[in-house]
Structure 1
Amino acid sequence: MILRILLLCIVLLVIELYAFQALRTLIKVKWVLVSYQIISLLLFIFIIYSFMQFDRSVGQTKQTMFTMGLVLLVYVPKMVLALVLLGEDIFRVGAGSINYFIENNDKATFFASRRKFVSQVGLGLAAVPFLSLIYGVTVGKYNYKVIKQRIFFPDLPDSFDGFTITQISDVHSGSFDNPEKINYAIDLVNEQNSDMILFTGDIVNTDAKEMHPWIETFNRIKKHEYGKYSVLGNHDYGEYVTWPSEAAKEKNFQDIKNLYEQIGFKLMLNEHTFIEKGTDKIALVGVENWGQNFKKAGDITKASEQLNKEDFKILMSHDPSHWDYEIKNHDKNFHLTLSGHTHGMQFGIEIPGYFKWSLAQYVYTQWAGLYENLGRYVYVNRGFGFHAYPGRVGIMPEITVIELKKGKAMA
């Protein structure tokens, strides 16, 4: 722990050094520079102190989220600035070496002074993440988007042509701080008037008590004609804190499972049920969390016992890596998998229909939206809530509406 804090201090101090050099190049007023140094030092001390106070028996709190937001707000822009100045330093060293060693110009200054223009460019670039992160914590985290997705299946039972499913995922109720915005989101869910609603896990960050202030709010999600179903996410197991005993951890886990029932959702634990409409039926399968780098409690074999390859199946599995590693080529042919988990890392760039980027794509092959493999699909919801960083930039909180259609997708 001490070594990590020390390494963090070194990295942050190097970033601070570069940022101050840029400011000093542009500003010559002494009191402004001194004030900047004092404020930067106080923020640095507060951040390091907050990290050292982290209590693993408690886990994430409003304070830790505030600290993480502050770290990103203060140091991501300065990091951008440092990279620009580092590039200038590399150029300065290269130019100085050419002058001194190749052109034998020993009268030239080996290390030229910083150029004002480069510092101005660096500050301009740093302003982009700074303003974006402010937007993310003030507006973005509750900027809910309803995303509608139509998916075609040649073998969809006739009665389910046009069947609609609302999906929510990754609520992380322990992070909420604005009842008005959450009620607005629940209104959006209800306005979709879907046939069925599915919740793909992570109702809390860690502790069942986080959801208690929000039970009444989520009970406002109206009954759907074909049911309300859910599965567990990795955070629902309480594995990211140190519990006083295994009994306490198990009690919290049972309390979390009960939360889903308390808000009217049928929790599916490695099992399936049939949804019947008219003379047809489809299988809804729900597994516990299965993640390549997280808890592997999901048992697709148990959940799909007595199902045939020909049965039309919708699978709820919290982590999309499950689809990538086990589901997409499974012998029983799971037509559609609904996942969440990634949050799109709550930071990225999206131009719907044209461009999509996030650091999440370097961790997960399927990280946001619809993916297909040999006629089998996974849809990754970007998440309803937020975690760790108390905001969202570019990757907005999502309510998904999926319409099932019979036939082949149009090119």
Structure 2
Amino acid sequence: MPRWLFTLLIFSVVFFVLELYAFQAVKTVVKNKWFKWVWLLFGIGAYLNFFIMIATYDRANGQTRAFQWAVGFLLLALIPKVIVTLFMFGEDVLRVGQKITGYFSSSTKELPSRRKFISQLALGMAALPFASLLYGIFKGKYNYKVLKYQLSFDDLPEAFDGFTITQITDIHSGSFDNKEKIQYGVDLVNKQNSDVILFTGDIVNNFAYEMDDWIDVFKQLKAPQGKFSILGNHDYGDYSDWNSEEDKKQNFEAVKKIHPKIGFDLLLNENRILEKDGQKIALIGVENWGKGFKKEGDLSKSINGVSQNDFKILMTHDPSHWEYVVKKDDFNYQLTLSGHTHGLQFGIEIPGFFRWSPSQYVYKQWAGLYKEFNRYINVNRGFGYHAFPGRVGIWPEITVIELKKA
């Protein structure tokens, strides 16, 4: 049996079990037959649409918006039913245990209303992720948040006390579908009035032409001390099949040319020296380096002309680079800026109390500010979105960092 067919059968069985349990809950609570038919048809339609999208997927076209919407509707149909199934299966286990106990003792009685109560509770709980996913798809993906940090360093040159940085990352322009919202996000970046704007990779999903409709918006970004950028894993065109290596190379060159078109100085394993009142800091930008991804980042090449005593800001797209290489490096990179994870665009964050996302099981540094060995990394949650056409609980981010002399 082909592997894809075996995988399809496994998923079909899982979906059938989820549908069976969820429909039991609906049937117990809802008597309107039209609602039941809508419930069934929505689920079946979402599954069929996704399977057809997978079966007809052409890597030469990359990840299309139709594919992203198929993922979105699949999650809308699937996740609430997972919640319902957990409740209903738990009730079944309890009921079987009760029957076994009742076999040995006539004193145990099953409450006749319990099944209906559990069904109502399950459907009520399932409504929460359903509503959250709907909000994430239609509103949350453009719910930009400005996060501000003030970081103090003993070795920061005094002239840069109060120097401000705005970081954005993971634009993924091929996913955008609302120019008004993107314009709002760009205006919000400019409102921060930072000294520099730093972009830490993934300007497209795969193809350079994805940015064509957005160049006029992003070239409006302004910063008095300059705008600088690096590449991310999606910028290399590795997530598509190409007619030839030459086509892939031409696309990569076109992606790199996007950056000067919107006024960014693209750093390809290079550095720039920022000067103020006769003092300086080094801005270092490496190509993508990621665990399990392309490792084009070359720190030794990027620090040419930079001394160990210089204050350094490193831009590297994937935070795993910091975890496995940068944070323990004797050259001492005081501040690193990354992106890549998106916080998986799904999670729960209650500032100061609780944070959770499936992303944390993949990346040790998955969102926000971290400090080890007296060095910092900020993992920006991303400006855009990818794969899932929305964001739930993990909102698009604009980071503002103020440097202070300790």
Structure 2 length-normalised TM? 0.95
> 3-state DSSP class of the match of 1:295?
coil
- The CA distance in 2 between the partners of 1:394 and 1:116, in whole Å, is 31
Tell me if structure 1 keeps the 8 A contact 2:101–2:108. no
Tell me the equivalent position of 2:179. 179
Give the deviation of 1:374 after TM superposition: 1.8
Tell me the equivalent position of 1:373. 372
- How many positions carry a matched residue from both structures? 403
> 3-state DSSP class of the match of 1:150?
strand
Residue from 79, 82, 86 that aligns with 2:82: 79
> 3-state DSSP class of the match of 1:68?
helix
> 3-state DSSP class of the match of 1:405?
strand
Tell me the equivalent position of 1:20. 23
Moved more, 6-15 or 125-134: 6-15
Q: Deviations over 1:244-280 (max 9, x none)?
A: 1111111111111111111110111111121111111
Residue from 3, 9, 13 that aligns with 2:12: 9
Q: 1:335 to 1:18 in 2, by over 3 A?
A: same
Instruction: Supply the AA of the counterpart residue of 2:100.
Output: S
Instruction: Supply the AA of the counterpart residue of 2:185.
Output: A
| Aligned pairs for 1:24-103 within 5 A | 24-100=27-103, 103=104
Q: 1:95 to 1:354 in 2, by over 3 A?
A: same
Q: Deviations over 1:183-224 (max 9, x none)?
A: 1111111111111110000000011010001011111112x2
Instruction: Supply the AA of the counterpart residue of 1:330.
Output: D
Tell me if structure 2 keeps the 8 A contact 1:80–1:126. yes
Q: Deviations over 1:24-65 (max 9, x none)?
A: 111244454345334433333223222222212212111001
Tell me the equivalent position of 1:385. 384
> 3-state DSSP class of the match of 1:364?
coil
- The CA distance in 1 between the partners of 2:53 and 2:121, in whole Å, is 32
- The CA distance in 2 between the partners of 1:16 and 1:42, in whole Å, is 13
Tell me the equivalent position of 1:309. 308
| Aligned pairs for 1:8-407 within 5 A | 8-100=11-103, 103=104, 115-222=115-222, 224-407=223-406
Tell me if structure 2 keeps the 8 A contact 1:170–1:203. yes
Q: 1:162 to 1:177 in 2, by over 3 A?
A: same
- The CA distance in 2 between the partners of 1:233 and 1:172, in whole Å, is 10
Q: 1:330 to 1:86 in 2, by over 3 A?
A: same
- In the alignment, structure 2 segments of 5+ residues that lack a partner are none
Give the deviation of 1:292 after TM superposition: 0.8
> 3-state DSSP class of the match of 1:253?
helix
- The CA distance in 1 between the partners of 2:213 and 2:146, in whole Å, is 25
Give the deviation of 1:97 after TM superposition: 2.5
Give the deviation of 1:104 after TM superposition: 6.2
Instruction: Supply the AA of the counterpart residue of 1:22.
Output: A
Instruction: Supply the AA of the counterpart residue of 1:341.
Output: H
- The CA distance in 2 between the partners of 1:116 and 1:138, in whole Å, is 33
Structure 1 length-normalised TM? 0.94
Tell me if structure 1 keeps the 8 A contact 2:46–2:70. no
Give the deviation of 1:113 after TM superposition: 9.4
Q: 1:218 to 1:325 in 2, by over 3 A?
A: same
Q: Deviations over 1:85-122 (max 9, x none)?
A: 1111222222222333xx166x9999x99711111110
- The CA distance in 1 between the partners of 2:295 and 2:370, in whole Å, is 22
Structure 1 vs Structure 2 CA RMSD: 1.9
User: Sequence identity of aligned pairs in percent?
Assistant: 55
Moved more, 70-79 or 47-56: 47-56
Instruction: Supply the AA of the counterpart residue of 1:239.
Output: D
Instruction: Supply the AA of the counterpart residue of 1:134.
Output: L
Instruction: Supply the AA of the counterpart residue of 2:213.
Output: P
- The CA distance in 1 between the partners of 2:44 and 2:217, in whole Å, is 42
Give the deviation of 1:293 after TM superposition: 1.9
Q: 1:244 to 1:113 in 2, by over 3 A?
A: farther
Give the deviation of 1:146 after TM superposition: 1.1
- The CA distance in 1 between the partners of 2:56 and 2:101, in whole Å, is 50
Tell me if structure 2 keeps the 8 A contact 1:174–1:211. yes
Instruction: Supply the AA of the counterpart residue of 1:191.
Output: K
- The CA distance in 1 between the partners of 2:246 and 2:316, in whole Å, is 27
Instruction: Supply the AA of the counterpart residue of 1:131.
Output: A
- The CA distance in 1 between the partners of 2:174 and 2:229, in whole Å, is 18
Instruction: Supply the AA of the counterpart residue of 1:344.
Output: G
Q: 1:30 to 1:191 in 2, by over 3 A?
A: closer
Instruction: Supply the AA of the counterpart residue of 1:345.
Output: L
- The CA distance in 2 between the partners of 1:134 and 1:72, in whole Å, is 10
Q: 1:131 to 1:337 in 2, by over 3 A?
A: same
Tell me if structure 2 keeps the 8 A contact 1:25–1:114. no
Give the deviation of 1:309 after TM superposition: 2.0
- The CA distance in 2 between the partners of 1:30 and 1:279, in whole Å, is 77
- The CA distance in 1 between the partners of 2:11 and 2:44, in whole Å, is 15
Tell me if structure 2 keeps the 8 A contact 1:186–1:220. yes
- The CA distance in 1 between the partners of 2:368 and 2:39, in whole Å, is 43
> 3-state DSSP class of the match of 2:321?
helix
